[in-house]
Structure 1
Amino acid sequence: MKRNIITLAITALMLSSCGIYTKYQPATTVPEDLFGAAETVSDTIHNIAKLNWRQLFVDPHLQSLIEQGLRNNTDLQSAHWRVEEARASLSAARLAYLPSFAFSPQGTVSSFDKGKAGQSYSLPITSSWEIDIFGRLTNANRRAKALYIQSQEYELAVKTQLIANLANTYYTLLMLDAQLAISEETEVKWKESVRVMQALKNAGQGNEAGLAQTEATYYSICTTVLDLKEQIRQAENSLCLMLGETPQFIRRGTLDGQVLPQDLSVGIPLQLLANRPDVRSSELALAQAFYTTNEARSAFYPSITLSGSAGWTNGVGEVVMNPSKLLLSAVGSLTQPLFNKGQNIARLKIAKAQQEEAKLSFTQTLLNAGAEVNNALKQNQTARDKSDLYRRQISSLQTAVTSTQLLMQHGNSTYLEVLTAQQTLLTAQLTQVSNRFQEIQGIINLYQALGGGREE
């Protein structure tokens, strides 16, 4: 008995060294300087990703849209059902440890040489139980668990993507609203300019070329207004699709009224392993590949199955008797692969290759995450730096418009110069609005890149 115990212990140790029972060890390091030369001080306490999305997006209209999207978005609902599928697969993998039972009644009617027919029957309950000594069921269960957790991370990834898309589209709508207001105001001014140029021409103080140029600019502004209205409708429709709604008007605030955090601390790169759902999902895919490799290794070892049956029968050998008797049987079987070793070797090579692919994919996902953080930081910082320059530019252009108007009144300038100054001012104002959107979008992209939006 003691010898058998020692033999089993040595066998278990050898199998463990072969990797059949080893567990996947989660990553604890990330590439050095993953965020690049980040311009924001990094620490473990301050991290924009730790903010609840309601703390980041304080606009009540946007909050309402996000809440509706989290309830109705079809992609998010599909991700939830994917979690339920993985949960069922995990339950099936765990139940594989238990013996299986089946009720298989049988009946026979037989007659020899036209003699009286004999009827026999059996009412057995059969069972089968695979003893998981060599880790096949264990690795299948661990792989199913990794798949289940991965499906949860996928659902979180869909959720964070949805929040970011809703916010980006909402702020796009606000940007278009602001540009439309500027363009419509300018359209009114240029319509008046066309009237003035026509009056000057009639009075002999203007010419046909100046009038034609003014009219052309006015028509260009009119087409810009129509384009902006179309883009607004498209943005509203995009929001409705994400909300699971038919096309309709979207209630919203104004771009000038938006308040977002100015402190954009990014934390430390290592936090991406816990915060970003796609990084977590990629690592769990690597864990699944790891357990698939272990499972392929276990195929080289025998499988041990215990089976048996218990029930009632009135057939014993060639004799039919009544009343029925109790029938018991028990069988133990050991199946050792002999002629499929080549197939098992091929499966193991495939599993190892897939594991290496998953490892490279995980590394690339980390690198992509680091680049996204750096890009978002640079986008926001550049927009902030431009903001003051645009403010000064517009102030100068407003002064230029006023000055040319005064000069025209004293005969030192033409009305075309006034119109040119106004056109330049319009372009700068539209660009300033676009830059404000770029600044906000940088914050949203950074929030998503760091894994923000996981919590309700």
Structure 2
Amino acid sequence: MKKEIILFTVAALTLSSCGIYTKYKPAAEVPEDLYGEEVAVSGSTDNLGNLGWREVFTDPHLRVLIEQGLQSNTDLRSAQWRVEEAEATLMSARLSFLPSFALAPQGTVSSFDGGKATQTYSVPVTASWELDIFGRMRNAKQQAKALLEQSHDYRQAVRTQLVSSIANVYYTLLMLDEQLAISERTQQSWKETVDATRALMDAGLANEAAVSQMEATYYSISTSILDLKEQINQTENSLSLLLAESPRSVERGKLEGQTLPDHLAVGIPVQMLANRPDVRSAEHSLESAFYATNQARSAFYPSIVLSGSAGWTNSAGSMIVNPGKFLATAIGSLTQPLFDRGANIARLKIAKAQQEEAKLSFRQALLNAGSEVNDALVKYQTARNKAGLFEKQIASLEKAYESTSLTMQYGNTTYLEVLTAQQSLLNAQLTQVANRFTEIQGVINLYQALGGGRE
């Protein structure tokens, strides 16, 4: 008996060294300069992504839309079902450690050469229990755990994407509303200019060409207004899809006065391992592949199964006894793979290759996350720097337009100069609004890139 215990201990230690029982070690480091050399990173863990979405998005209309999206969005609800599937898979893996029981009653009626019929019956309860000495079921359970965590991360990634998408579409609507208002004001102003030019023509101070050119520009502005209205309708439809509802008009505020956090802290890069759901998902995929490799290794070793049955029967070999007697049996079996060793080797190679693929995917997910943070920060900072320049440009263009308009009425400036000044002012105003949206979008993208919107 002592020899058997010693042999079992040596075998267990040997198998442990083969990697069957090893545990996955989570990543604790990230590439240097993950956010890029130009992004200043302090040692503080203060991070925009740690803020709740209500702290970032203060517009009451937007908050209502995000709440509705979190309740009804189809992708998010599908992600929840994926979590429940993974939970059931993990439960199945855990239950595989317990013995299985089954009731298997049997009965026969037989007669030989017209003789009296004999009846036999057996009412056994069968049991089977696999001993997980070589770690097959244990690694399967760990793999199921990793897949469950990955499903949680997937749901969180969908949630983060949903919050950011609703915010981006909402602010797109505010941008289009502001551009529409500017275009409509310009349309009205240009109509007055057309009327004034026609009056000058009647007084002999302008020609037909000037009036025609003014009218053509007026019609061009009018068509751009129709385009903006169409874009607003399409954007509202996109938002309705995110909310899983039919197309409708969206109640909203105005772009002017919108506030978002000014302190855009990115924290330390290693926080990406905990904050970004897609990065966590990639690591759990690597963890799952790690345990799949361990399972492939365990296939080289025997499986040990204990089985037995207990119940009542009236069949005692060649005799039939009534009433029936209690009968119990126990069997132990060991199955060692022999001729499928080549297949097991191939499966192990496949598992190792998939593990290396998962490792590369995890590293790429980290690099993608760092690049997204860099893009969002640069986008925000560039738009912020442009804002002051646009204000000065518009102020100058407004003066130029007023000056050319007055000069055309009372001097010798041509209508082409007025056209140019008015068109330049309109373009600058529309671009300024778009730049304000870009600034807001930079904050939203940075919030998402840092893993914001978590539960």
User: Deviations along 1:7-32, whole A, 9 cap, x unmatched?
Assistant: 21211111111110001111111111
SS at match of 1:238: helix
SS at match of 2:307: strand
Partner of 1:223: 223
Q: How does 1:92-107 map to 2 (within 5 A)?
A: 92-107=92-107
Partner of 2:306: 306
Partner of 1:156: 156
**Paired residue type of 2:397:** L
User: Deviations along 1:273-300, whole A, 9 cap, x unmatched?
Assistant: 0000000000000001110000000000
Partner of 1:109: 109
**Paired residue type of 1:201:** M
Deviates more, 1:241-250 or 1:168-177: 241-250
Partner of 1:355: 355
**2:45–2:268 contact (8 Å) kept in structure 1:** no
Partner of 1:57: 57
Deviation, structure 1 residue 342: 0.7
**1:40–1:264 contact (8 Å) kept in structure 2:** no
Number of positions where the alignment pairs a residue of Structure 1 with one of Structure 2: 455
User: Deviations along 1:38-96, whole A, 9 cap, x unmatched?
Assistant: 43443333210111100000000000000000001011000000000000000000000
Partner of 2:185: 185
1:284 correspondence with 2:275: no
RMSD, matched Cα:
1.1
**1:40–1:265 contact (8 Å) kept in structure 2:** no
**1:306–1:333 contact (8 Å) kept in structure 2:** yes
Deviation, structure 1 residue 195: 1.9
1:3 correspondence with 2:3: yes
Query: Distance in 2 between the 1:192 and 1:419 partners?
Result: 13
Change (3 A) 1:190 1:417: same
Query: Distance in 2 between the 1:74 and 1:113 partners?
Result: 70
**2:200–2:409 contact (8 Å) kept in structure 1:** no
Q: How does 1:182-331 map to 2 (within 5 A)?
A: 182-331=182-331
**Paired residue type of 2:8:** L
User: Deviations along 1:129-164, whole A, 9 cap, x unmatched?
Assistant: 000000000000000000001000100000000000
Deviation, structure 1 residue 262: 1.0
Query: Distance in 1 between the 2:247 and 2:24 partners?
Result: 48
**Paired residue type of 2:208:** E
TM-score where L is the length of structure 2: 0.98
Query: Distance in 2 between the 1:235 and 1:141 partners?
Result: 46
Query: Distance in 1 between the 2:194 and 2:335 partners?
Result: 94
Query: Distance in 1 between the 2:252 and 2:43 partners?
Result: 35
SS at match of 1:134: coil
Query: Distance in 2 between the 1:81 and 1:42 partners?
Result: 40
Query: Distance in 2 between the 1:30 and 1:40 partners?
Result: 16
Partner of 1:402: 402
**2:41–2:268 contact (8 Å) kept in structure 1:** no
Query: Distance in 2 between the 1:378 and 1:159 partners?
Result: 25
1:47 correspondence with 2:47: yes
SS at match of 2:191: helix
Partner of 1:345: 345
Query: Distance in 1 between the 2:38 and 2:51 partners?
Result: 20
Deviates more, 1:374-383 or 1:398-407: 398-407
Query: Distance in 2 between the 1:336 and 1:41 partners?
Result: 56
Deviation, structure 1 residue 6: 2.0
Deviates more, 1:82-91 or 1:192-201: 192-201
Deviation, structure 1 residue 316: 0.8
Q: How does 1:400-439 map to 2 (within 5 A)?
A: 400-439=400-439
Query: Distance in 2 between the 1:304 and 1:2 partners?
Result: 21
SS at match of 2:26: coil
Query: Distance in 2 between the 1:38 and 1:266 partners?
Result: 13
Deviation, structure 1 residue 423: 1.4
Query: Distance in 2 between the 1:284 and 1:26 partners?
Result: 9
**1:126–1:307 contact (8 Å) kept in structure 2:** yes
Change (3 A) 1:362 1:39: closer
**2:39–2:374 contact (8 Å) kept in structure 1:** no
Partner of 1:369: 369
**1:306–1:331 contact (8 Å) kept in structure 2:** yes
Partner of 2:74: 74
- Structure 1 unpaired stretches of 5+: none
Deviation, structure 1 residue 428: 0.2
Deviation, structure 1 residue 360: 0.7
**Paired residue type of 1:371:** S
**Paired residue type of 2:321:** M
SS at match of 2:119: strand
SS at match of 2:31: coil
Partner of 1:447: 447
**2:136–2:299 contact (8 Å) kept in structure 1:** yes
Deviation, structure 1 residue 438: 0.3
SS at match of 2:54: helix
Deviation, structure 1 residue 412: 4.3
Query: Distance in 2 between the 1:405 and 1:217 partners?
Result: 15
**1:43–1:266 contact (8 Å) kept in structure 2:** no
Deviation, structure 1 residue 208: 2.4
- Structure 2 unpaired stretches of 5+: none
Partner of 2:140: 140
Query: Distance in 2 between the 1:323 and 1:279 partners?
Result: 67
Query: Distance in 2 between the 1:412 and 1:206 partners?
Result: 10
Query: Distance in 2 between the 1:406 and 1:257 partners?
Result: 33
**1:38–1:377 contact (8 Å) kept in structure 2:** no
**Paired residue type of 1:317:** G
TM-score where L is the length of structure 1: 0.98
Query: Distance in 1 between the 2:416 and 2:191 partners?
Result: 14
Runs (4+) of structure 1 exceeding 4 A deviation are none
Q: How does 1:387-398 map to 2 (within 5 A)?
A: 387-398=387-398
Deviation, structure 1 residue 415: 4.0
Query: Distance in 2 between the 1:43 and 1:153 partners?
Result: 26
Deviation, structure 1 residue 114: 1.2
